[in-house]
Amino acid sequence: MIRFYGVTKIYPNGVKALDNVNLHIRKGEFLFLVGPSGAGKSTLTKLIFREELPTRGQVLFNGRNVARLRSREIPYLRRKIGMVFQDFRLLPQKTVFENVAFALEVTGASSREIKRRVPEVLKLVGLEGKANVLPAHLSGGEQQRVGIARAIVNNPVLLIADEPTGNLDPETSWGLMELFQEINNAGTTILMVTHARDIVDAMKKRVVALESGRIVRDEECGGYRHED
Ligand code: ADP
Ligand code: ADP
């Protein structure tokens, strides 16, 4: 589904964030991306989402070179990708329902579709009773469930989660990992950036480790290492 061919990313200030990265992410995979701060993890996810362009090499999404997409095609790429953030990034003045509905509205969904789909996805993440609540009145774990609901409401083929449990306690984090596993079981590919050693070790998924912009490890059923 996603292929990186010899991808190097050098920012305008001269920082080489990725250095000749080759990576193949297959449909249905659950992949942890690990590595120290500054290793290039966020840059890698930004290249998939076309927030940044490679300096050299190619990023292919379903066979298409992401850098060559026409500007009118970029929204369609982004609609296939759900994003979950460490700091949730919810709209504070909007209710849970409205936060999730907003992601559907921008794709032109009808109000009928929104009324059908939002409760469905809130049920999936375990928030069926919280539709009319503002984010500030939810726990951190619940806020992240809203973030996940918003990310999956358009049925993306890929979910990118950038340290989704970074602000949450271990017990809450495990609950979220069960949710990510369910989403993966339903067929969505998951790319998760994380520093959560216990989670990586317990989940036995593919682990790709970056260091100074290079892939230094790529293991099926991997674990977290000291240097990550
Ligand atoms: P990570 O997500 O692993 O912490 P990043 O991809 O954020 O790593 O950053 C990799 C390197 O690129 C770091 O040295 C960082 O400072 C640099 N970097 C990231 N984004 C930019 C940017 N927009 N402009 C310049 N340098 C950047
Ligand atoms: P994270 O570790 O979550 O990626 P960072 O603190 O590395 O967060 O980066 C926060 C934002 O600042 C990112 O959008 C990144 O691209 C940008 N950034 C990081 N390093 C630099 C830099 N040296 N110059 C300009 N922008 C940067």
What ipTM did this prediction achieve?
A: 0.78
Q: What is the pTM of this model?
A: 0.89
SS3 84: strand
Whole-number Å distance between alpha carbons of 48 and 114? 27
pLDDT at 223: 85
Whole-number Å distance between alpha carbons of 161 and 177? 11
Please, what is the Cα angle at 15 between 45 and 159, to 5 degrees? 5
Average pLDDT, integer, range 125-145: 97
Per the listing, tokens 């682990």 go with 207
Confidence of residue 222 (pLDDT cuts 50, 70, 90): confident
Phi, psi torsion values for 27, nearest 5 degrees: -60, 135
- The residues pairing with 82 across neighbouring beta strands, listed in sequence order, are 159
- pLDDT(224) > 90: no
Residue 57 to residues 18, 24, 44, 115, 186, Cα–Cα distance (Å): 11, 14, 13, 43, 32
* pLDDT tens-digit series, residues 40-65: 999 999 999 999 999 999 999 999 99
Tell the residue nearest (CA) to atom 3 of ligand 2. Answer: 42
Whole-number Å distance between alpha carbons of 41 and 110? 36
Gap from CA of 181 to ligand 1 centroid (Å): 29
Is the CB of residue 31 less than 8 Å from the CB of residue 224?
Answer: no
- pLDDT(227) > 80: no
Q: Ligand 2 atom closest to Cα of 162?
A: 3
Whole-number Å distance between alpha carbons of 160 and 125? 17
Is the CB of residue 77 less than 8 Å from the CB of residue 66?
Answer: yes
SS3 99: helix
Tell the residue nearest (CA) to atom 6 of ligand 1. Answer: 40
- pLDDT(29) > 90: yes
- pLDDT(221) > 80: yes
Phi, psi torsion values for 191, nearest 5 degrees: -115, 115
Sign of CA dihedral 49, 53, 59, 65: positive
Confidence of residue 209 (pLDDT cuts 50, 70, 90): very high
pLDDT at 116: 97
- pLDDT(99) > 90: yes
Could you give the residue ranges of the DSSP H alpha helices within 125-212? 140-152, 170-185, 197-203
Gap from CA of 10 to ligand 1 centroid (Å): 10
Tell the residue nearest (CA) to atom 24 of ligand 2. Answer: 13
Phi, psi torsion values for 62, nearest 5 degrees: 45, 45
pLDDT at 20: 98
Ligand 1 pocket, CB under 6 A: 11, 13, 15, 17, 35, 37-43
